[in-house]
Amino acid sequence: MNQTAQRVFSSRIADQRLIKPLKASKTPTLSHRAPKTPFVALSTNLTLSFQTMDLQNTVKEALNALYHHPDDAVRMQADRYLQDFQRTLDAWQVADNLLHDPSSNLETLIFCSQTLRSKVQRDFEELPSTAFRPLRDSLNVSDGLCSFGAFPMTLLKKFHKGPPKVRTQISIAVAALAVHVPAEDWGDGGIVKWLRDEMDSHPEYIPGFLELLTVLPEEVLNYKIAARPERRRQFEKELTSQMEVALNILTACLTISELKEQVLEAFASWLRLKHGIPGSVLSSHPLVLTALSSLNSELLSEASVNGITS
């Protein structure tokens, strides 16, 4: 750990105050005020402000201290600092920037993906109302997305091959976003039909999209998401109405042998919705038949049981 980082994380140990950046670095004290750089500038090639760059470096130093510093007191300070950081408006932009930074290590990627997931779940209403329209408009663009609202989608594609922990956190963030944002804002037919179109257009991203399809129905009952009760009920109705589309996606994916386990897990997740499809339809459904035929498979048995017993 360099001398600057040591000064940042050791100077306040005596009085047990939260970590603060060095005065020389001119990094602003973390607060709940909106950052000077507007959210719509995220994921672009615009030059980052010195404020944001300094804050990104401080987060990296805190993570390095948390995982690698030999002093327990310093690690505790770093942990408190990072928890406080996750509650700020700055966290949206800094986490997004670090996830797009090719120099970020695995520890940074995991922390930042967890930060974005928690921000979408509990702090989505921090965003200005102007973020909704760019979100809707940007979802139909495959490359070069430049609005803040599109960040989870670009990240889902970026990490479609891993690391798995990062991809899972981003998938949950996108699913939580779907809880907040009404179906009409995703285009014609809601997020599931949008997902189907994306999978048709970009088959290389299918594994990552399948994980998103798996967690979508799980978020119906995830009360970590700070959504209003009426919006949560509407989200469940939206997913129920798109059940047939979801199962058709999964059935099509059965042709990819290496994805069978993931397909069956997603199938089990959708069957847990309160209002499923009639048993008469399920009895002869290709997904059920695949689950039954895979019970004796060492690789697929657990996923098959989950699908059958859901």
Instruction: Determine whether 130 is exposed, middle or buried from the number of CB atoms within 10 Å of its CB (0-12, 13-18, 19+).
Output: middle
Does residue 173 sit in the same domain as residue 241? yes
Does residue 124 sit in the same domain as residue 235? no
User: Considering the chain, what percentage of its residues have pLDDT values greater than 70?
Assistant: 67
In this structure, is residue 16 part of a structural domain? yes
Does residue 124 sit in the same domain as residue 183? no
In this structure, is residue 77 part of a structural domain? yes
Does residue 108 sit in the same domain as residue 230? no
Highest mean pLDDT among 16-20, 137-141, 246-250: 246-250
Does residue 105 sit in the same domain as residue 52? yes
Does residue 41 sit in the same domain as residue 112? yes
Region 301-308: what's the mean pLDDT? 51
Neighbours of 36 (CB within 10 A): 10
Higher pLDDT, 182 or 249: 249
Does residue 118 sit in the same domain as residue 12? yes
In this structure, is residue 251 part of a structural domain? yes
220: containing domain: 159-277
Q: Which two tokens stand for residue 192?
A: 């599931």
3-state SS class at 231:
helix
* Residue range 70-119, pLDDT digits in tens: 999 999 999 999 999 999 989 988 998 899 899 999 999 999 999 989 99
* Residue range 159-175, pLDDT digits in tens: 888 799 999 999 998 89
pLDDT at residue 131, as a whole number: 63
In this structure, is residue 209 part of a structural domain? yes
pLDDT at residue 76, as a whole number: 94
Region 48-66: what's the mean pLDDT? 84
CA 131 to CA 125: how far, in whole Å?
Answer: 10
In this structure, is residue 55 part of a structural domain? yes
pLDDT at residue 288, as a whole number: 83
Does residue 165 sit in the same domain as residue 262? yes
Lowest mean pLDDT among 98-107, 189-198, 209-218: 189-198
In this structure, is residue 173 part of a structural domain? yes
- Mention every residue, 6+ apart, whose C-beta is less than 8 A from residue 232: 179, 220, 225
Closest by CA to 147, choosing from 43, 36, 34, 46, is: 43
> What is the reported pTM?
0.75
When divided into structural domains, the chain yields a total of 2
CA 108 to CA 142: how far, in whole Å?
Answer: 26
Q: What is the largest distance, in Å, between two alpha-carbon atoms of the chain? A: 70
* Residue range 263-298, pLDDT digits in tens: 999 998 998 886 666 666 677 788 888 888 766 655
Does residue 176 sit in the same domain as residue 228? yes
pLDDT over 60 at 158, yes or no:
yes
pLDDT at residue 246, as a whole number: 93
Does residue 123 sit in the same domain as residue 2? yes
In terms of DSSP H, where are the helices of 159-285? Answer: 164-180, 190-201, 206-218, 229-241, 243-253, 260-271, 279-282
pLDDT over 80 at 195, yes or no:
yes
For residue 300, what pLDDT band results from cuts at 50, 70 and 90? low
> Are the C-beta atoms of residues 196 and 245 closer than 8 Å to each other?
yes
pLDDT at residue 296, as a whole number: 63
Does residue 97 sit in the same domain as residue 170? no
In terms of DSSP H, where are the helices of 13-103? Answer: 50-68, 72-85, 90-100
Neighbours of 213 (CB within 10 A): 28
For residue 132, what pLDDT band results from cuts at 50, 70 and 90? low
In this structure, is residue 227 part of a structural domain? yes
**CA distance readout (Å), 39 to 45, 132, 166, 224:** 14, 12, 22, 23
Does residue 115 sit in the same domain as residue 7? yes
**CA distance readout (Å), 105 to 60, 70, 108, 180, 189:** 9, 20, 5, 31, 38
- Residue pointed to by tokens 């069978």: 260
